[in-house]
Amino acid sequence: MALPKRRHSYSRTRKRRAHDFLTPPQVAKCPECGEPKMPHHLCGGCGMYKNRTVIHLEEEIS
């Protein structure tokens, strides 16, 4: 099996690992009710998506 001839330097290792860190989830504000929501997702507070009512939450509850 192949083995490395030289040890990788600290800076080379850090450069490789620079892209491994996780990014926090992006949060947008719903323009209708102002609740936080994920971008390109349905709002859980009012049921709106792209200024259209997709789910009528009052009817779903009762």
Report the number of secondary-structure helices (H) and strands (E) in the chain: 2, 4
Q: Which residues contact 49 (CB under 8 A, 6 or more apart)?
A: 41, 42, 43
Top pLDDT among 10 and 23 is at: 10
pLDDT of residue 29: 93
Q: Token match 């504000």: residue?
A: 29
- Single-letter amino acid code for the residue at 16: R
Please state the domain extents for the chain. 24-48
Q: What pLDDT was estimated at residue 61?
A: 63
C-alpha closest to that of 48 among 23, 24, 27, 31: 31
Is 90 exceeded by the pLDDT of residue 3? yes
Q: pLDDT tens digit string along 21-61?
A: 888 999 999 988 899 999 999 988 888 888 888 888 766 66
pLDDT at 13: 95
pLDDT value at residue 8: 95
The answer to whether residues 50 and 40 touch, using CB atoms and an 8 Å cutoff, is: no
